[in-house]
Amino acid sequence: MNSSIDFTHDPAARSWVESANAPDTDFPLQNLPLGRFRRRGDHHPAAWRIGIAIGDQVLDFRKVAEAKIDLGVPLGALERGVLNAFLATGPERRQQLRHAVFNALGEDSPLQGALQRCLVPQSAIELSLPCRIGDYTDFYTGIHHATAVGKLFRPDQPLLPNYKHVPIGYHGRASSIVVSGTEVTRPRGQLKGPQDELPRFAPCERLDHELELGAFIATGNELGAPLSMEQAEAALAGLVLLNDWSARDMQAWEYQPLGPFLAKNFATTISPWLVTMEALAPFRAPFERPAGDPQPLPYLDGEFNRGAGSIDIALEVFLSSAAMREQGLPALRISQSNFRDAYWTLAQMVAHHASNGCNLQPGDLLGTGTQSGPGPGQGGSMLELSQGGKVALTLPDGSERRFLQDGDELTLRARCERPGARRIGFGACAGIVLPAA
Amino acid sequence: MNSSIDFTHDPAARSWVESANAPDTDFPLQNLPLGRFRRRGDHHPAAWRIGIAIGDQVLDFRKVAEAKIDLGVPLGALERGVLNAFLATGPERRQQLRHAVFNALGEDSPLQGALQRCLVPQSAIELSLPCRIGDYTDFYTGIHHATAVGKLFRPDQPLLPNYKHVPIGYHGRASSIVVSGTEVTRPRGQLKGPQDELPRFAPCERLDHELELGAFIATGNELGAPLSMEQAEAALAGLVLLNDWSARDMQAWEYQPLGPFLAKNFATTISPWLVTMEALAPFRAPFERPAGDPQPLPYLDGEFNRGAGSIDIALEVFLSSAAMREQGLPALRISQSNFRDAYWTLAQMVAHHASNGCNLQPGDLLGTGTQSGPGPGQGGSMLELSQGGKVALTLPDGSERRFLQDGDELTLRARCERPGARRIGFGACAGIVLPAA
């Protein structure tokens, strides 16, 4: 199993990259997330390369290859700047790379001198999506979100009868997935309030975020060949943060009977660093259903899933207005929750997706759905925090928010921490809202 | 405008490829659809190439290039076996190619001797998808289908209030789109009848087809930059037939609130030959709304669309059981309809899709939704033909069908014909149902 605990999870291990030993870094030696980057300003098509974040630096695999430094594992596809082919090699190769890089960046590594020249400061780079995303599917595993939103759309029946049996999901748009830092233009669309006789075409008036995680597929399956729960777990590469920007007014009018469409596909932002399943292993947690809830059907059940199917990931949402940034005010944390509260696990999402024979491919992305907690400050969207637009949040600049305004910057953050393990983080998933074109 | 009538639509024009002059061929000189093929049995990765169907032959562009035959237009991307890059060059280049190939294959062409060696019999080839499909979106433009199916799912409100204002669409799965001739395995999934207390996981018992057309995008748009109706029309490359295989029992249980998912993404079959917008030009027809219906919002309206937004394409569905094929019985035509009955045009689908800034890319595929006609023999799915499974069709082998059974072969066909124009066809979109794994 690719998620077993090993020496790379030793909380006392330190790196010769000093910034990786700072207690508050997202990228200590125990994390080692993968990303695709180039030097800022280098617009040559071949400038993109794959690297691993360590403290405030990136280990550049192209430089490692060019310098002919032997890490003890073949770099193969990692040299070419496209992550998909490396992910497709599966969890063992990923684990080997993790072991090799952990040793090479560890504080007593004989490779320190050689590798020093293969580091690039993160301040000098720009990141792209970590890999080419073939298909993107968004799930709906946040039961507190499903209940809260359901109440607004269907007061008589907030949680539909299928919710506790089916890991509900739907297809999203791959082409409009952008990396953290990309500005997001407010969409135009058909709006029709309950009082309006006819729809009008206008800029969205209820722009929202959704706090999600995104899971990348490493190995996938052939068309017609479902995955067992064990295979589903092994098919996962790792996680990023995901903001499923949503136009609530467009959504309310368009979504029946085939689901959300233009309300969602104008942009989806993900964080650039793929935090691997190996890095997340110490934070696995039992998957538990509330007493009295139905147990998953056999194709969605498994021993590993019951014992360690969940992952303890603390999630946060920050908001800053343009005025706050001008006044030097820090972003306001507007929500916090935990991925442990998800009603379905990642492996259940994958196994369900492939259960009808649908083929998943290396680099496919699965969103988890909005991860809201049960409490009042735990809504993963403005829709929930403002109770459908009825209650305003007051920002430090004195302005009020029911939904996102132009100039607002929305930032998702995530971290894993528990006693006996080194804290790891995901970096930021951020985007500023631009006015409608 | 890329759809104007020109000399390539002369119904009297003949080809030196004699089979192209047969009155019943789908591929006369006036059609010239694009496809991707290899010689059957040639499994070399570089064996795939792009060609144009002419009668029962294919003109092989790699051979044309290798023989250094000058058609008067640069072949460029067509030589490399990937259609996307050629489509991305836009309608003018496509029109130039059409003119050049029309002249080269025309009966007095001086190139006949040289090009003869660049023909491959269609009986000797296998075809793939015409191009790499980035994102796949399925629309719902068949109002008779929407009404008939709506009656089954929501007897109180068959057609939802948004239908006549919004070209309803949703994202589909790109990875499981397969070319005509690919066998389709019956999916397993969660089934729960109205009488069942709990769902069970079992092979689909209500497997269905859907008669659709698929539109390929040629030029697309940047993220954040919507397309006008004129730009949307010019963004289209052409059409194929599309069978949106559907598991109705899985669909009924899973589809709320986010739309169909596993009920659809186990397979979508398309025909291999991309019939270009230029070939379809003589069959354009006015786009008309029934009296009293709302007119489209301005972003979905345009002069060309009103005058010629629709296309007259006759559609047919054939079914044969394994027993019928063993007995040598011809397939039974179970339905016929016409794309003119669609409630929304192709350009409206494209303009709506991009209206929020969503970026379309060369090779993206848009399904039209099921094209049912208003009459009783015009349902584009078994669900409609059997009135939700209540009325059985009797096949020539004496067996009955409410939904598709293992061994059934489902074939879609389409043709355009009108007085004064040469009839063109789409070839077949076929698939045989295999038992659940």
SS3 B322: helix
* Nearest CB to B190; choose among A154, A166, A198: A166
Which band of pLDDT confidence, cut at 50, 70 and 90, is reported for residue B82? confident
Q: Who's near B145: CB < 8 A, 6+ residues apart? A: B210, B369, B370, B371, B372, B379, B380, B381, B384
Residues in chain A where the model's pLDDT stays below 50: 1-2
- Are residues B347 and B428 both part of a single domain? yes
Which band of pLDDT confidence, cut at 50, 70 and 90, is reported for residue B1? very low
Nearest by Cα to B208 from B379, B337, B324 = B379
- Are residues B145 and B120 both part of a single domain? no
| pLDDT given at position B311 | 98
Residues of A in contact with B222 (CB under 8 A): none
Fill in the DSSP letter of residue B379: -
Q: From the centroid of its chain, how far is CA B398? A: 31
Is B165 within 8 Å of A364 when comparing Cβ atoms? no
| pLDDT given at position A2 | 42
Is A258 within 8 Å of B170 when comparing Cβ atoms? yes
The answer, for B169 touching chain A at a CB cutoff of 8 Å, is: yes
CATH code for the domain of B81 = 2.30.30.230
Residue B66 to residue A406: CA distance in whole angstroms:
56
Q: What is the 3-state secondary structure of A383-414?
A: HHHCCCCCCCEECCCCCEECCCCCCCEEEEEE
Number of Cβ atoms within 10 Å of the Cβ of A66: 11
CB proximity under 8 Å: A 91-120 to B: none
Token pair listed for B432 = 């045989």
- Are residues A266 and A302 both part of a single domain? yes
Asked whether residue B384 is domain-assigned, the answer is yes
Residue B170 to residue B136: CA distance in whole angstroms:
9
Residue B426 pLDDT exceeds 50? yes
Per-residue model confidence as pLDDT tens digits over A222-252:
999 999 999 999 999 999 999 999 999 999 9
Residues of B in contact with A192 (CB under 8 A): 162, 165
Residue B382 to residue B208: CA distance in whole angstroms:
6
Number of Cβ atoms within 10 Å of the Cβ of B88: 17
- Are residues B188 and B247 both part of a single domain? yes
Residue B198 to residue B187: CA distance in whole angstroms:
19
Residue B3 pLDDT exceeds 60? no
Residue A363 to residue A398: CA distance in whole angstroms:
43
Best to test chain A binding among B149, B157, B166, B198 (most A CBs inside 10 Å): B166
Is B437 within 8 Å of A353 when comparing Cβ atoms? no
- Are residues B118 and B236 both part of a single domain? no
CA-CA distances (angstroms) from residue B287 to A384, B138, B300, B310, B418? 42, 21, 12, 5, 17
* Nearest CB to A171; choose among B173, B247, B297: B173
Asked whether residue B364 is domain-assigned, the answer is yes
Asked whether residue B1 is domain-assigned, the answer is no
Q: If you average pLDDT over every residue of chain A, what do you get?
A: 96
| pLDDT given at position A310 | 98
What's the number of domains chain A is made of? 2
| pLDDT given at position B362 | 98
Q: Give the chain B residue whose CA is nearest to the CA of A140.
A: B258
Number of Cβ atoms within 10 Å of the Cβ of B402: 19
Specify whether A44 is catalytic.
no
- Are residues A114 and A192 both part of a single domain? no
Asked whether residue A2 is domain-assigned, the answer is no
Q: How many inter-chain contacts (A to B, CB under 8 Å) are there? A: 192
| Structural domain ending residue among the three candidates A102, A127, A152 | A127
Residues of B in contact with A225 (CB under 8 A): 437
SS3 A236: strand
Residue B241 to residue B368: CA distance in whole angstroms:
10
Is A266 within 8 Å of B352 when comparing Cβ atoms? no
Asked whether residue B172 is domain-assigned, the answer is yes
- Are residues B67 and B148 both part of a single domain? no
Q: Give the chain A residue whose CA is nearest to the CA of B186.
A: A356
What are the backbone dihedrals phi and psi of residue B38, each rounded to the nearest 5 degrees, phi first?
Answer: -140, 165
Residue B79 to residue B217: CA distance in whole angstroms:
20
| pLDDT given at position A330 | 98
| pLDDT given at position A184 | 98
Q: If you average pLDDT over every residue of chain B, what do you get?
A: 96
The answer, for B198 touching chain A at a CB cutoff of 8 Å, is: yes
In the block, residue with structure tokens 């952008």: A178
Is A355 within 8 Å of B262 when comparing Cβ atoms? yes
Token pair listed for A189 = 């669309």
Query: Which residues of B make up each annotated binding site for substrate?
Result: 140, 154, 251, 255, 370
Number of Cβ atoms within 10 Å of the Cβ of A48: 17
* Nearest CB to B356; choose among A172, A266, A358: A266
Residue A360 to residue A227: CA distance in whole angstroms:
10
Residues of A in contact with B173 (CB under 8 A): 135, 171, 358
In our burial notation (b when 16+ CB lie closer than 10 A, e otherwise), range A183-208 reads ebbbbbbbbbeeeeeebeeebbebbb
- Which residue of the set A9, A99, A144, A145 is catalytic? A145
- Are residues B74 and B184 both part of a single domain? no
| pLDDT given at position B45 | 86
| pLDDT given at position A391 | 96
Residue B81 pLDDT exceeds 90? no
Residues of A in contact with B170 (CB under 8 A): 170-171, 258-259, 261
- Are residues A121 and A241 both part of a single domain? no
In the block, residue with structure tokens 């793939």: B128
Strand-strand pairing, B34-39 and B125-127: antiparallel
- Which residue of the set B9, B99, B144, B145 is catalytic? B145
SS3 A333: strand
CATH code for the domain of B398 = 3.90.850.10
- Residues facing B240 on adjacent strands: B214
| pLDDT given at position B431 | 98
Q: Are A408 and A431 in contact (CB under 8 A)?
A: no
Residue B285 pLDDT exceeds 50? yes
* Nearest CB to B187; choose among A170, A297, A357: A357
Residue A406 to residue A392: CA distance in whole angstroms:
16
Residue B152 to residue B348: CA distance in whole angstroms:
27
- Residues facing B396 on adjacent strands: none
Is B364 within 8 Å of A257 when comparing Cβ atoms? no
CA-CA distances (angstroms) from residue A278 to A161, A281, B48, B410, B416? 35, 5, 39, 46, 57
- Are residues A282 and A325 both part of a single domain? yes
To 5 degrees, how large is the angle CA B421–CA B87–CA B141? 65
Asked whether residue B396 is domain-assigned, the answer is yes
Residues of A in contact with B262 (CB under 8 A): 352-353, 355-356, 358
Q: Are B415 and B279 in contact (CB under 8 A)?
A: no
Q: Are A204 and A436 in contact (CB under 8 A)?
A: yes
Is A200 within 8 Å of B135 when comparing Cβ atoms? no
| pLDDT given at position A143 | 97
Average pLDDT on B223-238 reads 98
Average pLDDT on B153-175 reads 94
Asked whether residue A375 is domain-assigned, the answer is yes
Number of Cβ atoms within 10 Å of the Cβ of A398: 9
The answer, for A181 touching chain B at a CB cutoff of 8 Å, is: no
| Structural domain ending residue among the three candidates B84, B108, B127 | B127
Q: From the centroid of its chain, how far is CA B8? A: 23
In the block, residue with structure tokens 């609530």: A248
What are the backbone dihedrals phi and psi of residue A425, each rounded to the nearest 5 degrees, phi first?
Answer: -130, 175
> What residue ranges in A204-259 does DSSP mark as E strands?
207-208, 211-217, 236-243, 246-247
- Are residues B151 and B291 both part of a single domain? yes
Residues of B in contact with A157 (CB under 8 A): none
Asked whether residue B248 is domain-assigned, the answer is yes
| pLDDT given at position A157 | 87
* Residue A30 lies in domain: 7-127
Is B297 within 8 Å of A160 when comparing Cβ atoms? no
Residue A241 to residue A416: CA distance in whole angstroms:
13
The answer, for B174 touching chain A at a CB cutoff of 8 Å, is: yes
- Are residues A227 and A280 both part of a single domain? yes
Residue B226 pLDDT exceeds 70? yes
How close, in Å, is residue B36 to chain A by CA atoms? 21
Per-residue model confidence as pLDDT tens digits over B196-212:
999 999 999 999 999 99
The answer, for B266 touching chain A at a CB cutoff of 8 Å, is: yes
- Residues facing A331 on adjacent strands: none
Q: Are B371 and B380 in contact (CB under 8 A)?
A: yes
Residues in chain A: 437
Is A134 within 8 Å of B162 when comparing Cβ atoms? no
Residue B2 pLDDT exceeds 80? no
| Structural domain ending residue among the three candidates A93, A127, A161 | A127
